[in-house]
Structure 1
Amino acid sequence: GFAEYQLAEGLIEFTHTEVDESFEGRGVGSALARAALDSVRAGEEPLGPRRVVATCPFIKGWIDKHPDYADLLDGRGD
């Protein structure tokens, strides 16, 4: 699976997340979301430190289910 994103000054916009059908329902998408957002939070290059724009419905939904990550949101696309 993968999570597509675009970087801008101080921002990371997650635009699309995809997991192969054979791995759906096994937590792969959730692991991708958590790892990506943890990298942003930790300030790890190239993802962080940035504010998150969650235009990807999966990433947005994941953050909605895990509100302890909502502090990363920039407010656009959510």
Structure 2
Amino acid sequence: MHVVDNPEAKHFELAVGDIVAVAYYKIENDRIILLHSEVPQEFSGRGIGTKLAEGVFEQLRARGRRVIAKCAFIARFASRHPEYAQMLDG
């Protein structure tokens, strides 16, 4: 499993079989604003959201992007990982 950016749909995707977890974003003032993430209910508690968040941050870190985390799950994830928290703005 790996996270893929789908810029046309403005979300990152993590496919788990035929099901896809997503993290929606928009770009504003050269920053990525992470708006909302969704993990299908049947995958709740299996670490899929964590894998999605980690993959999103890894891709954005590789691109040198700054992040605003409006998604509560993504913000909590970043707060527990200093290597990602330093990427946050606002």
TM-score by structure 2 length?
A: 0.73
Question: Does residue 67 in structure 1 map to residue 87 in structure 2?
Answer: no
* Gap runs ≥5 in structure 2: 1-20
SS in 2 for 1:59: helix
Helix, strand or coil: the match of 2:86? Answer: helix
Identity %: 40
Q: 2:84 and 2:68 mapped to 1: Cα distance?
A: 12
Deviation at 1:56, TM superposition (A): 0.5
Structure 1 range deviating more: 61-70 or 13-22: 61-70
Which residue identity lines up with residue 6 of structure 1 in the other structure?
A: K
- Which has the larger strand fraction? 2
The answer to whether 1:19 aligns with 2:39 is yes
1:25 shift after superposition: 0.5
Q: How far apart, in 2, do the equivalents of 1:50 and 1:68 lie?
A: 13
Matched, 1:39 2:54: no
1:8 aligns with 2:28: yes
Q: List gaps (5 residues or longer) in structure 1.
A: 44-48
Equivalent in 44, 59, 69 of residue 54 of structure 1: 69
Which structure has the highest helix share of the two?
1
Q: How many residue pairs get matched?
A: 70
Q: CA deviation at 1:16?
A: 0.2
Q: How big is each residue's C-alpha offset from its partner over 1:9-59, in whole Å with a ceiling of 9 and x where there is no partner? A: 32000000110000011110000100000000001xxxxx32100110000
Residue identity opposite 2:82 in structure 1: P
